[in-house]
Chains A and B, each alone.
Chain A
Amino acid sequence: MPPKILKSAHNQASANRIQQMGLILDHLVDALGGDPSAPLRRAQILADIDCHPDTTQSALMDRFGMNKSTLNREIEWLYDQGCILRTPSQQDGRVIHMSSCGYAKKNLGLALDYFNRSHKNLHFFLETLINLFTDPKPTLRDAKFLVAATDMGEASRQELFDRGYSGANTTNVRALDHLVEQGLLIKTEDENG
């Protein structure tokens, strides 16, 4: 039987900080349409838009230092999934203002509860995670595996899958193997292996 998994923000007071990180990632997955394959950077962009209502693409580019096409893809994804609203500027029709909305805003708010509602702290949290990876686009699934492994100290593949997100087995296997390749997880053989 898998260990008891903390599922709700209501448990945040009783969870240790590593477990809280897992709960935060869960809320971010929920904020991004329930997609654990979403890049951590996408969560950071959503949080930035939430922090700066009516922000523009050029302002986002300035804050993130990302190229326009990469940022455009993320904005399009967020818009298509109903995470953000886009409103043309009344002064300049070429300028689009963006704001977080709906389930994305609600679930992002649950994640922010862990940071005393500080977007800056959430940004730092995500930036620290992103910088850990050598992969240019680490996902929320990747981060959840690392958090689960750290919480358990040492775990079997199945135990990590139980603590991770549902999805195709091949997706989870590939993600786990890639974490080993990056040196973020160390694979060992136990005495029965």
Chain B
Amino acid sequence: MGKTFKPSADTIRSLRQAALSIGASGLSISGGFNTGTGLPQEDISPMPANVTPK
């Protein structure tokens, strides 16, 4: 296979952050989450969530 590529921790963290907006309603762009939409987290492993809904 030769050279392989994997995402950095920052990449995973940011994509996870971006993914929080998918399917969410009323997301605050300033960084808060005001709906408690219960976004599933398990499919964006392996990074733990660093943003929690209010």
A residues sitting closer than 8 Å to B (CB atoms) are 16-18, 20-21, 24, 114-116, 118, 120-125, 127-129, 131-132, 146-147, 149-150, 153-157, 160, 176, 180, 183-190, 192-193
Interface centre among A17, A180, A190 (most CB of B within 10 A): A17
How does the 8 Å CB contact mask read for B1-33 relative to A, with 1 for contact and 0 for none? 111111110111011011101111111010000
Taking a contact as CB atoms under 8 Å apart, the answer to whether B18 and A129 are in contact is yes
Size bin of chain B's contact surface: 20 to 34
Main secondary structure of the interface of B (DSSP, over half): mixed
B26 CB to nearest chain A CB (Å):
8
Taking a contact as CB atoms under 8 Å apart, the answer to whether B21 and A193 are in contact is no
Report the separation of the CA atoms of residues A82 and B11 in the bound assembly, to the nearest whole angstrom. Answer: 33
Report the separation of the CA atoms of residues A129 and B7 in the bound assembly, to the nearest whole angstrom. Answer: 14
Identify B18's interface contact among A125, A176, A184, A188, CB under 8 A. Answer: A125
Given the contacts A17-B19, A156-B3, A193-B1, A184 and B25 also touching, CB distance less than 8 Å: no
Is there a chain A Cβ closer than 8 Å to B38's Cβ? no
Given the contacts A17-B43, A128-B17, A150-B15, A186 and B5 also touching, CB distance less than 8 Å: yes
A188 CB to nearest chain B CB (Å):
5
Q: Please name the 3 residue pairs, one residue from A and one from B, whose CB atoms are nearest each other, closest first.
A: A16-B43, A128-B18, A132-B14
Taking a contact as CB atoms under 8 Å apart, the answer to whether A193 and B2 are in contact is yes
With a CB–CB cut-off of 8 A, which chain A residues contact B25? Answer: 116, 118, 121
Identify A116's interface contact among B5, B15, B24, B40, CB under 8 A. Answer: B24
Identify B22's interface contact among A114, A131, A146, A157, CB under 8 A. Answer: A114
Taking a contact as CB atoms under 8 Å apart, the answer to whether B5 and A180 are in contact is yes
Given the contacts A127-B29, A154-B5, A187-B3, A132 and B11 also touching, CB distance less than 8 Å: yes
Identify A150's interface contact among B1, B11, B24, B40, CB under 8 A. Answer: B11
Taking a contact as CB atoms under 8 Å apart, the answer to whether B2 and A188 are in contact is no
Taking a contact as CB atoms under 8 Å apart, the answer to whether A122 and B18 are in contact is no
